[in-house]
Protein backbone atom coordinates (compact mmCIF):
# COMPACT_ATOMS: atom_id res chain seq x y z
CA UNK A 1 0.00 0.00 0.00
CA UNK A 2 3.06 2.20 -0.19
CA UNK A 3 2.06 3.14 -3.74
CA UNK A 4 -1.35 4.41 -2.60
CA UNK A 5 0.17 6.43 0.25
CA UNK A 6 2.79 7.90 -2.08
CA UNK A 7 0.18 8.85 -4.68
CA UNK A 8 -2.09 10.38 -2.02
CA UNK A 9 0.76 12.47 -0.63
CA UNK A 10 1.68 13.84 -4.05
CA UNK A 11 -1.99 14.58 -4.82
CA UNK A 12 -2.21 16.66 -1.65
CA UNK A 13 0.88 18.63 -2.65
CA UNK A 14 -0.27 19.08 -6.27
CA UNK A 15 -4.10 18.86 -6.26
CA UNK A 16 -4.42 19.47 -10.00
CA UNK A 17 -2.17 16.50 -10.76
CA UNK A 18 0.01 18.15 -13.42
CA UNK A 19 3.34 17.58 -11.72
CA UNK A 20 5.70 14.89 -13.00
CA UNK A 21 5.96 13.35 -9.53
CA UNK A 22 2.16 12.98 -9.37
CA UNK A 23 2.11 11.26 -12.74
CA UNK A 24 4.91 8.88 -11.70
CA UNK A 25 3.18 8.11 -8.40
CA UNK A 26 -0.06 7.44 -10.26
CA UNK A 27 1.69 5.11 -12.69
CA UNK A 28 3.35 3.29 -9.77
CA UNK A 29 -0.01 2.93 -8.00
CA UNK A 30 -1.63 1.47 -11.12
CA UNK A 31 1.25 -0.98 -11.52
CA UNK A 32 0.93 -2.10 -7.89
CA UNK A 33 -2.83 -2.58 -8.29
CA UNK A 34 -2.32 -4.56 -11.52
CA UNK A 35 0.24 -6.83 -9.85
CA UNK A 36 -2.03 -7.38 -6.84
CA UNK A 37 -4.99 -8.27 -9.06
CA UNK A 38 -2.86 -10.61 -11.15
CA UNK A 39 -1.58 -12.33 -8.00
CA UNK A 40 -5.12 -12.62 -6.61
CA UNK A 41 -6.48 -14.25 -9.77
CA UNK A 42 -3.52 -16.62 -10.04
CA UNK A 43 -4.01 -17.73 -6.43
CA UNK A 44 -7.75 -18.14 -6.99
CA UNK A 45 -7.26 -20.25 -10.12
CA UNK A 46 -4.53 -22.33 -8.48
CA UNK A 47 -6.83 -23.05 -5.52
CA UNK A 48 -9.40 -24.83 -7.72
CA UNK A 49 -9.38 -28.54 -6.97
CA UNK A 50 -12.51 -29.70 -8.78
CA UNK A 51 -15.29 -28.39 -10.98
CA UNK A 52 -17.47 -27.62 -7.96
CA UNK A 53 -14.96 -25.08 -6.67
CA UNK A 54 -14.85 -23.46 -10.13
CA UNK A 55 -18.64 -23.11 -10.21
CA UNK A 56 -18.65 -21.79 -6.63
CA UNK A 57 -16.10 -19.11 -7.58
CA UNK A 58 -17.99 -18.15 -10.73
CA UNK A 59 -21.24 -17.87 -8.77
CA UNK A 60 -19.44 -15.76 -6.16
CA UNK A 61 -18.03 -13.45 -8.84
CA UNK A 62 -21.35 -13.00 -10.65
CA UNK A 63 -22.88 -9.60 -10.10
CA UNK A 64 -26.21 -9.61 -8.25
CA UNK A 65 -27.52 -7.12 -10.78
CA UNK A 66 -28.78 -3.58 -10.39
CA UNK A 67 -31.94 -4.61 -8.52
CA UNK A 68 -31.70 -5.70 -4.92
CA UNK A 69 -34.88 -6.98 -3.34
CA UNK A 70 -35.99 -4.76 -0.48
CA UNK A 71 -36.19 -6.08 3.07
CA UNK A 72 -39.37 -7.90 4.02
CA UNK A 73 -41.46 -6.89 7.03
CA UNK A 74 -43.72 -9.58 8.49
CA UNK A 75 -45.53 -9.05 11.80
CA UNK A 76 -43.34 -6.07 12.67
CA UNK A 77 -40.04 -7.90 12.13
CA UNK A 78 -37.68 -7.11 9.23
CA UNK A 79 -36.02 -9.92 7.24
CA UNK A 80 -32.94 -9.16 5.11
CA UNK A 81 -31.52 -12.36 3.58
CA UNK A 82 -33.23 -14.54 1.00
CA UNK A 83 -33.39 -17.51 3.37
CA UNK A 84 -34.95 -15.44 6.16
CA UNK A 85 -37.49 -14.03 3.69
CA UNK A 86 -38.42 -17.50 2.43
CA UNK A 87 -38.93 -18.84 5.96
CA UNK A 88 -40.96 -15.78 6.98
CA UNK A 89 -43.20 -16.01 3.91
CA UNK A 90 -43.73 -19.73 4.47
CA UNK A 91 -44.74 -19.12 8.07
CA UNK A 92 -46.99 -16.18 7.20
CA UNK A 93 -48.81 -17.81 4.29
CA UNK A 94 -48.57 -21.59 4.55
CA UNK A 95 -48.40 -22.41 8.23
CA UNK A 96 -51.83 -21.27 9.34
CA UNK A 97 -52.90 -22.64 12.67
CA UNK A 98 -56.61 -21.76 12.92
CA UNK A 99 -59.48 -22.23 10.50
CA UNK A 100 -60.55 -18.60 10.88
CA UNK A 101 -57.49 -17.65 8.80
CA UNK A 102 -58.82 -19.66 5.86
CA UNK A 103 -60.86 -18.00 3.17
CA UNK A 104 -64.55 -18.93 3.08
CA UNK A 105 -65.71 -21.49 0.55
CA UNK A 106 -66.32 -19.47 -2.64
CA UNK A 107 -68.27 -22.17 -4.46
CA UNK A 108 -72.01 -21.81 -4.84
CA UNK A 109 -74.36 -24.43 -6.26
CA UNK A 110 -74.84 -24.13 -10.02
CA UNK A 111 -77.70 -25.38 -12.13
CA UNK A 112 -76.01 -27.28 -14.99
CA UNK A 113 -79.21 -28.07 -16.88
CA UNK A 114 -78.72 -25.16 -19.28
CA UNK A 115 -77.01 -25.81 -22.60
CA UNK A 116 -75.39 -23.47 -25.07
CA UNK A 117 -77.28 -23.54 -28.38
CA UNK A 118 -74.72 -24.55 -31.01
CA UNK A 119 -75.67 -25.62 -34.48
CA UNK A 120 -74.36 -29.05 -35.38
CA UNK A 121 -74.41 -28.21 -39.09
CA UNK A 122 -71.43 -26.54 -40.80
CA UNK A 123 -71.72 -25.11 -44.28
CA UNK A 124 -69.24 -25.79 -47.05
CA UNK A 125 -68.21 -22.12 -47.07
CA UNK A 126 -67.33 -22.24 -43.36
CA UNK A 127 -65.18 -25.33 -43.94
CA UNK A 128 -63.36 -23.63 -46.84
CA UNK A 129 -62.76 -20.47 -44.80
CA UNK A 130 -61.44 -22.41 -41.81
CA UNK A 131 -59.06 -24.60 -43.79
CA UNK A 132 -58.01 -22.78 -46.96
CA UNK A 133 -58.00 -19.09 -46.07
CA UNK A 134 -55.62 -19.32 -43.14
CA UNK A 135 -52.23 -17.65 -43.20
CA UNK A 136 -48.91 -19.36 -43.70
CA UNK A 137 -49.02 -21.34 -40.47
CA UNK A 138 -46.75 -24.23 -39.53
CA UNK A 139 -48.20 -27.71 -39.68
CA UNK A 140 -50.24 -28.81 -36.69
CA UNK A 141 -49.95 -32.02 -34.73
CA UNK A 142 -51.12 -33.95 -37.81
CA UNK A 143 -48.25 -32.46 -39.92
CA UNK A 144 -50.66 -31.27 -42.63
CA UNK A 145 -49.69 -27.88 -44.04
CA UNK A 146 -52.00 -25.26 -45.56
CA UNK A 147 -50.40 -25.93 -48.96
CA UNK A 148 -51.46 -29.59 -48.74
CA UNK A 149 -55.03 -28.61 -47.87
CA UNK A 150 -55.19 -26.20 -50.81
CA UNK A 151 -53.92 -28.89 -53.18
CA UNK A 152 -56.76 -31.22 -52.17
Burial class (CB in 10 A: 0-12, 13-18, 19+), 93: exposed
Report the residue count for the chain: 152
Label residue 84 by pLDDT band (50, 70, 90).
Answer: very high
* Mean pLDDT, the chain, whole residue set: 79
- Which residues, 6 or more positions from 126, have their beta carbon under 8 angstroms from its beta carbon? none
pLDDT in tens, 47-82: 888 888 888 878 777 777 777 788 889 888 999 888
**In the predicted structure, residue 97 carries a pLDDT above the cut 80:** no
Label residue 10 by pLDDT band (50, 70, 90).
Answer: low
pLDDT of residue 13: 66
Amino acid sequence: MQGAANYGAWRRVYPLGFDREVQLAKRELHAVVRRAKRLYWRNLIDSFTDSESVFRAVRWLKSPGPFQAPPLRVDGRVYETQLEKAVALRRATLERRVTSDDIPDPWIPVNADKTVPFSDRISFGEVCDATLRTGNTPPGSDNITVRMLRAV
